[in-house]
Homo-oligomer: A and B are copies of this chain.
């Protein structure tokens, strides 16, 4: 099975994903953005992640397609990625139709947390600037749900909503594992 794992910054996705990966030894965890960068470097289109963001929509589309194509062949995959990506220009779709149709995910896993919990985690995180976030977490999480429904309609993927409560990432990880078991 293939799953795309979604969670806005501050939700604790990385920890939940680590917990789940331990219990899914046959699964490979990949980061879609990192894979895109690798592909782009190989093609000598870009040198770093920053240049990827500045690519034309056409080049981005091609790069997304190529990256997704590689994942097509894999059978057991957890894809760490984003649905509604907040950028200065607006919300960029992380999984447009052409990516969704290539990946053909069986699951869309939305890791969500309480908005106040997210805000507090973001404040502690020194690697992020406050100005990076203008969209309130409650709205951002909802936008992810809207995108998830759209992708679910197109691909037939099952949506699993997992609540990551404070100090309960193990429990959230277990829930993730459970939805992946056939």
Contact = CB atoms under 8 A, between A and B. Distances in A.
Interface stretch (A32-40, A124-132, A151-159, A166-174): A151-159
B97 A158 contact: no
A131 to B, nearest CB: 15
A92 B155 CA distance: 11
Contacts of A106: 57
B158 A90 contact: yes
A160 B91 contact: yes
A89 interface: yes
A160 B92 CA distance: 9
A146 B159 CA distance: 12
Contacts of A146: 145-146, 148-150
A155 B146 CA distance: 15
A23 interface: no
Contacts of A91: 152, 158-161
Contacts of A153: 93, 95-97, 100, 147, 150-151, 154
Interface string A16-30: 000000000000000
Contacts of A150: 146, 149-150, 152-154
Given A92-B158, A142-B145, 6 more contacts: A90-B107, A90-B159, A96-B152, A97-B153, A147-B153, A150-B153
